[in-house]
Amino acid sequence: MAVRRADVVAAALGILDQFGLADLTMRRVGSALEVKAGALYWHFPNKQSLLAAVADAILAEVVAPEPGPWRPWLAAWTDRLRTTLLRHRDAAELVSATLATGLGAVDLGTPPARVLHGAGLGEADARAAARALVHLTLGQVSEEQTRATLSEVGVVSGHDPEAAARDHAAGVALLLDGLAFRLRD
Amino acid sequence: MAVRRADVVAAALGILDQFGLADLTMRRVGSALEVKAGALYWHFPNKQSLLAAVADAILAEVVAPEPGPWRPWLAAWTDRLRTTLLRHRDAAELVSATLATGLGAVDLGTPPARVLHGAGLGEADARAAARALVHLTLGQVSEEQTRATLSEVGVVSGHDPEAAARDHAAGVALLLDGLAFRLRD
DNA sequence: ACCTGAACACCGTTCAAGT
DNA sequence: ACCTGAACACCGTTCAAGT
């Protein structure tokens, strides 16, 4: 039974979820598929491309909110992005890295930028605001996930998920206030 | 001549600047000091601790603006943070990773949080805003530095530093607008 | 106090050769 | 078309032993 590209991505995502990014090696993905590491290079040119595909798979889970007023739409979208990232171990770090390399296919900033542009913001400002929202979320979740892992191992104590959610919402609300100020008549 | 802890950090920073984070290995740092990799473990318990020390050294270069009104103070501080990060290859990625592990000594969020609290913002909101500012900057610079490296190798074309500066300023301004809204009477 | 030598258990990647 | 075997050039980390 030949392994297909999608099988490789699924296996990699499974390893990420169970063991984290540090254990996501080509050799481990291969052995999960009962195949040697070298075989993966038939499907992907290198490890980074495989990681980008995993990041894309994760981001595809973010469902866009129903069309509506820009502020609740953005608040909901940001929250869904956060929740999706939290569902997969080390996902924020993985997505950040992929976003930086530019290898990912999913354009994370486009949906919020479109909404903001539709609300009357200039295109450049809309893109800048979308980037800010994305970086804010990735940064907060990345810190939260690392802390969660560390507290699991017992290195650090008292990781509070509700406090993290509030922190994130506070940062987002600040940005949305700034946007409301820009969009006022 | 015995190698001291500070020598190790300086050598590591030199390798980071010249060759980037991927080439910053214990073996390379050792050979730059004419010492075997194992010798470094006399000074640091592991690689992460050495990286944290390097991150601290970089962040120590950020000089706080003169005391003054919160808005220009924060704008200046954020800009200096960005400029400092840009002076060292892959610095944003390194600092982000260190910040997540909690190993770093420099508390990046405290100065802006203090200024905001002094301006009348509640302590929790001040901390959340400071975190937002930091994550925004780290995310933008991290992307910028990766793109800069890629464009150096020729993988990607047209990295525009001025556009990146404008993007960052736009994101920060948005947040500061939100803060101004909160701090209005 | 500080370092070497040498090992252990890994990595990502390549590529001829097989089926 | 897809995979193995086997290698290449590396990693971080440990630790007895040396000075």
CATH of domain A5-44: 1.10.10
Q: What is the pLDDT of residue B46?
A: 98
Judged by a CB distance cut-off of 8 A, whether residue B60 touches chain A is no
The verdict on B163 touching A (C-beta cutoff 8 Å) is no
- Asked if A131's CB is within 8 angstroms of B132's CB, the reply is no
For residue range B137-152, list pLDDT tens digits in order. Answer: 999 999 999 888 877 7
| Tens-place pLDDT, residues A111-138 | 999 999 999 999 999 999 999 999 999 9
Identity of the residue in B134, B146, B166 whose CB atom sits nearest the CB atom of A101: B146
Interatomic CA–C1' length for residue B148 and nucleotide D7, angstroms: 35
pTM, two decimals, is 0.95
Nucleotides of C under 7 A from a protein CB: 1-7, 10-16
Res B126: pLDDT? 96
Domain with CATH 1.10.10 in chain A: 5-44
Confidence label for B155 from pLDDT (cuts 50, 70 and 90): low
CA distance B125 to B106: 21
Determine whether the distance from the CB of B38 to the nearest atom of strand C is below 7 Å.
Answer: yes
CATH code of B58-184, in short, is 1.10.357.10
CATH 1.10.357.10 region(s) of chain A? 58-184
**What CA–CA distances, in Å, run from A115 to A64, A127, B67?**
11, 10, 38
Nucleotide nearest to B39 (CA to C1'): C3
Question: Distance, angstroms, CA A11 to C1' D4?
Answer: 20
Tally C-beta pairs within 8 A across A and B.
122
pLDDT number for residue A155: 65
DSSP for residue A154? T
- Partners of B156 on chain A (C-beta within 8 Å) are 102
